[in-house]
Structure 1
Amino acid sequence: MEKRKLVINAAICDCRSVTEEILNSYESIQINTSCILVSKNSKELLSRYHVAMNTADVTEIPDDAEVLIQNGSFTIEENTIMSKPTVLIVNGSLHINKGSEKALESFLSIQVNGSVSYPSDTQNQLPPLKVNGSVSTYPSDAICLKNKFILDKVFILRAKNAKYYAKNKVLVIDETLDLSSLISKGTTFITNTAIIAENLLDKAILLFDDETDIKVLPAGYSYVEEGTLNDLMVSKHGDKIYVDGDLVITSESENTLKKITGLKVTGSILISKKLIDNLHSLDIEYKDLKFIKGKIIKDKGFLTINKNTLEGLEDGVTITDCGFVKINSDITAEEIEEKLHFIDCGFIQCQPDQKGAIELVSEDVGLIKDKTETSIESLDEDEDSLNPYDKNTQVINAATYKM
């Protein structure tokens, strides 16, 4: 009986328990992953077989170690003590609190795909630490707040003569706040960015050190988090808006845009082309400008675009911040140019006659490949298939896989 091939696509692949029987049952094994976990024995065993590893990291850990995988945010604090020696893998953000030295002893190693923050005096107590992303420390004598902290009257009443740490930003945007008591107490903030209402600037700036990036919320403007411009936003915040992040202005926002008299955006404006003249008639500031088509689809890991996706959407679709996008063969190159737009996507899979059109309507896309380039020999277009391999290949797609 002919042996099959095995392809494993996983964020993390734990190969510590792999056996010679498993390895010998396949013609070849390909592992595509960000991290492979091996033991001393399995590492030697894998080297004797046809195993191809496409990975950023190979970590050797004991057979009996626990593996804790966290997606999102994770905090290690005083009582975060593992019952067994543990390898911690965080896909997101890791925060280590003060007083966590004993808890850190229960971790064999820590790997973070994202960001890490920890108190400065903890550095010598950290287990082996691998970070694909950013690392920040904060003074060990600081009191930790939320990553994004909004200063209010309750905090002012309870504040101490102390340093307060907010990793990302502090918002001082309520013009009715009296900051005098904070200043007299000696309260200070440690953070990357502070957004301060213009009328409070003279006093509020005394609460931050010289390394903080100070941004001013102009008088008469309302603070809004990133999002899509619509009537609800204007009715709630008024016609002068300060957007912290990106702002999407679709063709459906045309009437709302006419109500705006002032617009300041710290990030990018993603706007329908037909509204650009309306936008430039405003008092406006922005970091970057990107044109979009019609509806927005964003933040999808896997996405299939077919004829039905475009049905009834005269202005088309903009796909942004998506990982893997598959374009079905029922969409013509002309329809792609007219109705599709790709921004900041990782990988686009298409038909050979679609590739040129996709390249014309793409910005900051990692890779665009057609079926011939990805060695797709047979693909049923009626199925939502992501398998670019022949029928003799077993494909496993998983966030975490244990062999």
Structure 2
Amino acid sequence: MAKKLIINCSTCDARNAREETYAHYESIVINCATVLTNDTGKAVLNKLPFSLNCANVQEVPEGTQLRTANGSTEIKSGDTVSQEPYFLVVNGSVTIGSHTEKQLEACVGMCVNGSLTCPESIYPQLKNVRVNGSTTCYPDGAILLKRNAVIDKLFTLRAKNALYWASRRIIFTDLTLDAQALAARGATFSAQEVIVAQSLLESLIDRIDEKAEIVVVPDGTAVVLDDLTLDGAALGRYGKQLYVVGDVTVPEDGGVLDEISYLNVRGDARVPEAYRELLLSLLTDIAGEVRLAKPNGSRISDKPLVKITRWMLEQQPKGLEVCDCVVVKIAEDIPKELIARSLHIRDCADVTCTPEQEDAVTMICEDVGNIGSKPSPEGVGGLLGGVLKGIQGVLDTKVVNAADYVL
């Protein structure tokens, strides 16, 4: 019989845990986001060898129904009103609609591992709420749009006499939009940021919440809601005027940089040194940084472990880029000069090198968690012993993987 129990889940309900069920285990490890318990459950958890690795331990009253959801959840005014008290656990996003007071009356508590969006008047009325993420309140009665909402000609045909709200930004760049018709319908708009084409600004300004940050862009500007490489494909799809909500990369040959007439970047820009001055002259604004990109002949990315050898660097005259890897090990025989000239490492958790290489490695690393040497393994014997112990541990351990688990 297994001596150890490991439970991996999103929500663990420990309210009805029984001592006789788990008394024979030497250790019980629960890895989860939320543990629900009460006086009965706490007594068992404290008496037996339980180890809890969790974000929340939540006490739930007796007789309360547990409701769980993984993903996006919406509470609407038309939902059935619960006659029994319930506790809601959501691993994802929760959106609470207007006029949902009756639907929330029976909710004795809520744990959200994600984001919560709700009306301003309802949030103070929520009972026992814990959010591991962001909480956003919107004006009462507002109609919710997507996080990044594009208002076009079709939207005008369906517009109502109401306030429209987006959690991040609203975009008015469609020049076929009839702003006068939109105003006649009584529609108003609220968001953190509102992007407006120059020719539409005067007719729309009174329809926009005065608290919003208004960004005016030239007519014909395309708003790109993603990272973008300035190549021929980008030019053909979006044109020469760009507002990029993401990072911008200039190719080694400059791409179509010399054809761009307007560029506003809300992230970072990566550019070869030869084109840095041209990029700076074109930028209207940038929220992040302009970073130099080394000319790379090859790239290694998205690996748990990468070992860089001298041969690898010598085979890449234009250099080697390593990105989005967990551990990068640099061979001891690589000279510092070759590292500085041919290697670029970014967005990696750990880079291992010798003390002699460390200053050169530091120069070529960007957004790296740790740089330096590590103690050597305990030899082959120690490694083999660790493997054998690991095998024995697996035989003695029962592992349960589930979305929700009830003790």
Q: Secondary structure at the match of 2:178?
A: coil
> Contact (CA 8 Å) 1:146, 1:167: kept in 2 or not?
yes
Q: What is the match of residue 151 of structure 1?
A: 151
Q: Give the structure with the larger strand fraction.
A: 1
Instruction: Within 5 Å, give how 1:275-294 maps onto structure 2.
Output: 276-280=276-280, 282-289=282-289, 290-291=291-292
Tell me the distance in 2 between the aligned counterparts of 1:296 and 1:85. Answer: 55
Letter in 1 for 2:77: E
Percent identity over the alignment is 29
Q: What is the match of residue 41 of structure 2?
A: 42
> Contact (CA 8 Å) 2:10, 2:32: kept in 1 or not?
yes
> Contact (CA 8 Å) 1:85, 1:108: kept in 2 or not?
yes
Q: Residues 232 and 261 of structure 1: is their aligned pair in 2 closer, same or farther, counting only changes over 3 Å?
A: same
Instruction: Within 5 Å, give how 1:314-325 maps onto structure 2.
Output: 315-317=319-321, 319-320=323-324, 325=325
**Once the two structures are superposed, what CA deviation does each residue of 1:42-101 show, in whole Å capped at 9, x if it has no partner?**
221111233333433101235873341323x32111344469754333334221112323
Q: Secondary structure at the match of 1:306?
A: strand
Instruction: Within 5 Å, give how 1:223-242 maps onto structure 2.
Output: 223-229=223-229, 230-242=231-243
Instruction: Within 5 Å, give how 1:47-126 maps onto structure 2.
Output: 47-61=46-60, 62=62, 65-71=65-71, 73-81=72-80, 86-123=86-123, 125-126=125-126
Q: Secondary structure at the match of 1:161?
A: coil
Tell me the distance in 2 between the aligned counterparts of 1:204 and 1:148. Answer: 18
Tell me the distance in 1 between the aligned counterparts of 2:13 and 2:234. Answer: 47
Letter in 1 for 2:111: Q
Q: What is the match of residue 128 of structure 1?
A: 128
Q: What is the match of residue 245 of structure 2?
A: 244
Q: Secondary structure at the match of 2:117?
A: strand
Letter in 2 for 1:100: T
Letter in 2 for 1:212: A
Tell me the distance in 2 between the aligned counterparts of 1:368 and 1:12. Answer: 36
TM-score when normalising by structure 2: 0.74
- Shift in Å, 1:171: 0.7
**Once the two structures are superposed, what CA deviation does each residue of 1:203-243 show, in whole Å capped at 9, x if it has no partner?**
22211122111112224533222223132211122223221
**Once the two structures are superposed, what CA deviation does each residue of 1:5-55 show, in whole Å capped at 9, x if it has no partner?**
555565544444544356444433444444222243222111123333343
Tell me the distance in 2 between the aligned counterparts of 1:148 and 1:132. Answer: 23
Q: What is the match of residue 177 of structure 2?
A: 177
Q: Secondary structure at the match of 2:177?
A: coil
Q: Residues 287 and 12 of structure 1: is their aligned pair in 2 closer, same or farther, counting only changes over 3 Å?
A: same
Tell me the distance in 2 between the aligned counterparts of 1:398 and 1:200. Answer: 54
- Shift in Å, 1:173: 0.6
Q: What is the match of residue 140 of structure 1?
A: 140
Q: How many residues align?
A: 382
Tell me the distance in 1 between the aligned counterparts of 2:361 and 2:10. Answer: 28
Tell me the distance in 2 between the aligned counterparts of 1:137 and 1:54. Answer: 31
Letter in 1 for 2:119: P
- Shift in Å, 1:342: 3.0
**Once the two structures are superposed, what CA deviation does each residue of 1:234-259 show, in whole Å capped at 9, x if it has no partner?**
112222322123324454x7433344
Instruction: State whether structure 2 residue 340 is matched by structure 1 residue 341.
Output: no
Letter in 2 for 1:239: K
Letter in 2 for 1:262: Y
Letter in 2 for 1:128: N
Tell me the distance in 1 between the aligned counterparts of 2:377 and 2:40. Answer: 34
Letter in 1 for 2:242: I
- Shift in Å, 1:272: 5.3
Letter in 2 for 1:57: N
Q: Secondary structure at the match of 1:177?
A: coil
- Shift in Å, 1:328: 6.5
> Contact (CA 8 Å) 1:66, 1:84: kept in 2 or not?
no
Tell me the distance in 1 between the aligned counterparts of 2:226 and 2:149. Answer: 16
Tell me the distance in 1 between the aligned counterparts of 2:404 and 2:145. Answer: 36
Q: Secondary structure at the match of 2:160?
A: coil
Tell me the distance in 2 between the aligned counterparts of 1:83 and 1:12. Answer: 24
What's the RMSD between the two structures over aligned residues?
Answer: 4.4
**Once the two structures are superposed, what CA deviation does each residue of 1:336-375 show, in whole Å capped at 9, x if it has no partner?**
87545333x6xx3566759958766555556779876999
Tell me the distance in 1 between the aligned counterparts of 2:250 and 2:383. Answer: 37
Q: Residues 64 and 125 of structure 1: is their aligned pair in 2 closer, same or farther, counting only changes over 3 Å?
A: closer
Structure 1: gaps spanning 5 or more residues? none
Q: Residues 319 and 66 of structure 1: is their aligned pair in 2 closer, same or farther, counting only changes over 3 Å?
A: farther
Q: What is the match of residue 218 of structure 2?
A: 218
Tell me the distance in 2 between the aligned counterparts of 1:285 and 1:131. Answer: 34
Q: Residues 326 and 291 of structure 1: is their aligned pair in 2 closer, same or farther, counting only changes over 3 Å?
A: same
